[in-house]
Amino acid sequence: MQRYDVLVVGGGPAGSTTAIRLAEGGARVLLVDKAIFPRDKPCGGGLTTRAFAQCPVDPTPVVEDEVDVVELRFRFGDSVVRQASSPVIRMTQRRWLDAFLLAAARERGVEVREGTTIDTATAPADVIVGADGANGTTAKSVGLGGGIVQGVAYEGNVPYGTVARERYAHRAVVELADIPGGYGWVFPKGDHVNVGVGAWQEEGPRIREHLARVCNAHGLDPSQLDALRGHRLPLRRAATRLANERALLVGDAAGLIDPVSGDGMYECFVSSRLAAEAILAGTLAAYPAKLDAALGRLHGASWKLKRALDRWPRASWRVARTRLLWGSVERLLLGDVGSPGEVTGAARVPLRVLDALARIP
């Protein structure tokens, strides 16, 4: 039986880009996924500019829209519209993005087996990468994971014609402060918009009601949505074990979701890079600390903002709608700063206010 340097379980963006980086570093890589690609994957499908820059291959061929306008709305009423200096989000569909990245892994010599499961205990590989997402079993099988807080999301699509292209093209609409632990959204794609909501896990029984309110706010009947699907949003806490002497976790399998935005694409590409570097250097034990150094300050600030929005929504909205805060958000989305802590000067004032709100019992 052929033996591999690395087994990657999961062919989503985290798994494929880890495999790409490993293969480019000279490793013999086997990637397995129980699905056959292309396959649908619940996700808003946005690549922030900072995430786009972290991807080891250029995903432009599967980008369907570029967002340079962000519309923030408070409880489906009061709103502000901000124009970015350049696109801050590239919109794609996971069905096409994941297949594109998996094909790129194949092109670089990764052996890909679709429609396949594998026993990690007897896998013919020296190192195992768990990249099988929020519902994956690899983490448990290799003694990793745990300590993850769960959110939930629910979404569907509406074709242009049912909604006006001129209303939503190049624009991301974000509905704030009405959904506990999350927000609603309308994101533009090539021939449709994606409409969805994210929330704390305990909102699961009411998630359809939350989505219906977002639909109503945009003149839609919920029955007009097709391809409806729900998914979990894993949020890592400090107790989550990410590596041991033989295995490590990347992307959603590691709970690497931004607590405020629910975005995991930036985290998936950062974790795939750091994981590949650790494996190629034979230093798996160093991976968690390097991941914390890359993402810890960003996620720490996001947890504070999430608490502020949940506990003091109206006060947080008054801060969120300011042009001063938008400048910091734009720089974060573009990747000009790695975390709010790097913002300097007057732009720090609204960030300090939100931090103070998060600290109020």
- pLDDT of residue 74 exceeding 90, the answer is yes
Does the structure show a pLDDT above 90 at 273? Answer: yes
Pairing relationship of beta strands 46-48 and 78-83 according to DSSP bridges: unpaired
Q: What contacts 169, CB < 8 A, 6 or more positions away? A: 65, 188
The mean pLDDT value for 17-28 works out to 98
Alpha-carbon distance of 296 to 293, in angstroms, equals 6
Other Cβ atoms less than 10 A from the Cβ of 139: the count is 24
Residue 211: pLDDT band (50, 70, 90) is very high
- Which domain CATH number covers 8? 3.50.50.60
Averaged over 146-158, what is the pLDDT? 93
Give yes or no for residue 1 having a pLDDT over 80. Answer: no
Look at residue 70 and tell me if it is in a domain.
no
Distance CA 116, CA 238 (A): 32
Same domain, 139 and 253: yes
Q: What is the pLDDT of residues 284-343, one digit of tens each?
A: 999 999 999 999 999 999 999 999 999 999 999 999 999 999 999 999 999 999 999 999
In-domain check, residue 106: yes
Cα separation of 9 and 7, whole Å?
Answer: 6
189 contacts 209 by C-beta, under 8 angstroms: no
Number of structural domains, the chain? 3
Sign, CA torsion 115/103/93/335: positive
Rounded distance between C-alpha atoms, residue 101 and residue 13, angstroms: 7
Over residues 3-17, the pLDDT tens digits come to 999 999 999 999 999
Residue 261 burial (C-beta neighbours within 10 Å; 0-12, 13-18, 19+): buried
pLDDT band at 41 (very low <50, low <70, confident <90, very high): confident
Residue 204 shares a structural domain with residue 331: no
Written as six digits, the tokens of 355 are 């931090």
pLDDT of residue 340: 94
Domain hosting 264: range is: 4-62+93-147+235-295
